[in-house]
Every structure is written in structure tokens, then in C-alpha cells.
Amino acid sequence: MTREQYILATQQNHLPQTENPQFYPVGIYGWRKRCLYFFVLLLLVTAIVNLAMTIWILKVMNFTVDSPLVLQSDRNVTLNARNALGQLTGQLTVGGLEKVADCGLHTSSRIGLPLLWVPGADAVEAQCKKFEVRESEGGRVLFSANEEEITIGADRLKVTGTEGAVFGHSVETPHIRAEPSQDLKLESPTRSLIMEAPRGVQVSAAAGDFKATCRKELHLQSTEGEIFLNAETIRLGNLPVGSFSAAPPSSPAPQQTVYELCACPNGKLYLSPAGAGSTCHSSSSICLWH
């Protein structure tokens, strides 16, 4: 036995011996254990109730992955937009509200908007300072409306109603054109149709006729210039015909084929049978009774 082994054996023999050693259990016992089990059970019940309520809400509101979002209400559905100060800046209302706020077109009370009555329960109203509809690609404005004007930026505005479009005031446009293979008709059913232009009015029919029809009188008037008729043939129909006969009464009257155009002092035109000379003076009595 070495010296180190002897010293170690001697020290172990002189260590005090402990009688009846005490053991302390480690863990949660008693009322603490019961409280822990209670809170775990309560948490489990809360999670189950929360899951059940979520499923019930999804079922009642018809929230599904494959179907569109549906918002339903017995009275109306209203979407509001507010700024950082809480003021109403825009509103979209589907259905009838007894009172809604108009957004900024007039001055008013606490939020700067007046209260208006919405008639009917089938209305869809968007109330804001400016309303725009843009195309999905490019962002071009297709429709824009504000307090001052309404702008339509589409390539074509088509009105398919049988009564057309009704405007309470003037319509400004540089060009009015009918659809291809369709006629263009300007009509005033109960009043006059007036076309005015300070630098002239031009009516052209490049491949057809131009007709002007009226029930009473047709006036062509030029205050400072002249009326110019330029055509290969100018025909004046239904003119009154004066009577003139230079042949003896016993000879048979030939069929008259040539007439002379005569004018009364008041500007009325009539026809007189042509002779060797002018016959207007001989048949001028037509100016008295026509």
C-alpha cells in the first residue's frame, strides 16, 4: 500500500457517519398541483370554445375559400373612410339609410358634412369629393366626377336606351357622328331646331341626296351676300302657269312644251307659254290672283 492510499483510507475512516439521512421530494404537490390542472383544463376549454365560435362565424357569414365575400344586412351596408383626424372623407352605401353624410360638397357641422335623406331602399350611393373609375391595366381614367364636372375617358360612350340621352343644358363637342351603316338624325319633336355658327354652317352629302322638307315656307336668306345655285339642272316644280295664246281661235292649239320663267314684282315666280317674244307681260295677271 502506498502512502497516498494509506492517507485516503485513514481519512475515510475518520469521517462522521450520518444517522437516518433525510430525503426531500422534488415536484408540485398538494393545492398547487390541483390549481395547475385547473388552469390547464380552463385553457383547453377556452381554446375549444374559441375554435367553435370561429367555425360558427365562418358558417354564418359564408366565409369560404372558393366563394366571393358576401356582406348582408337587413337595412344597409355602409363603408366609411376617415382621415387621421377621424373626419369622414368618403362613404359607399348600399341600400337605404334614413340619414347619410354627404362628403364635402357642402359645408356643415362636426365632421364638415351635412346629413341628407336617401330615398328608397334599392339605391347605391358613393359620396366623396371626387369619384374615379380606372382601367385595370395602365390606370387610365375611364370615369371621373366631382362638384365641377364629369369626365368620361372611354374611347366610346354608348347609350342604348330607346329615349337616348337627355341634357338639361348645352352639349359641347367638335364632332357628332353616327355608327357605321347607321343614319344620323337631329330632331326636335315639339320645338325648333337651330344650327348656328359665326363662321358658317356646311352641310355636305358626298354620296347621296340633300333634302330639306317643311310644312309651310322654306326661307333662304342672305343679308349681305348672294344665294348661289350651281348644278347642271335646276328644276322648280309646281310653279303656276299663266295663259297666253297668239294663234287664231279657229286653228288647233299645239301642245305647249316650252315655257318662259317670269317673276312678279313681289318675287313670286310663274311660268308663261313661250312665244316669239316675251309673254310674261301678257300673262302677268297671275300676279294679281296668286
- For the residues of 11-76, what is the DSSP string, one character each? HHHHSPPPSS------S--THHHHHHHHHHHHHHHHHHHHHHHHHHHHHHTT--SSS------SSE
pLDDT digits (tens, 9 = 90+) for 113-167: 444 444 446 778 888 888 888 988 888 999 999 888 888 888 888 888 888 888 8
pLDDT digits (tens, 9 = 90+) for 207-266: 888 888 888 888 888 888 888 888 888 888 888 887 655 555 555 656 777 888 888 888
Q: Kindly state the DSSP code that residue 10 receives in the 8-state scheme.
A: H
Q: Report the largest interatomic distance among the alpha carbons of the chain, rounded to a whole angstrom.
A: 191
Helices (H), ranges, the chain: 3-14, 31-60, 286-289
Residue count of the chain: 290
Q: What is the pLDDT of residue 67?
A: 67
CB 73 within 8 A of CB 95: yes
pLDDT digits (tens, 9 = 90+) for 53-67: 998 988 887 776 776
For residue 18, what pLDDT band results from cuts at 50, 70 and 90? low
> What is residue 126's three-state secondary structure?
strand
As to burial, measured by CB atoms within 10 angstroms (0-12 exposed, 13-18 middle, 19+ buried), residue 88 is buried
Full-model pTM? 0.44
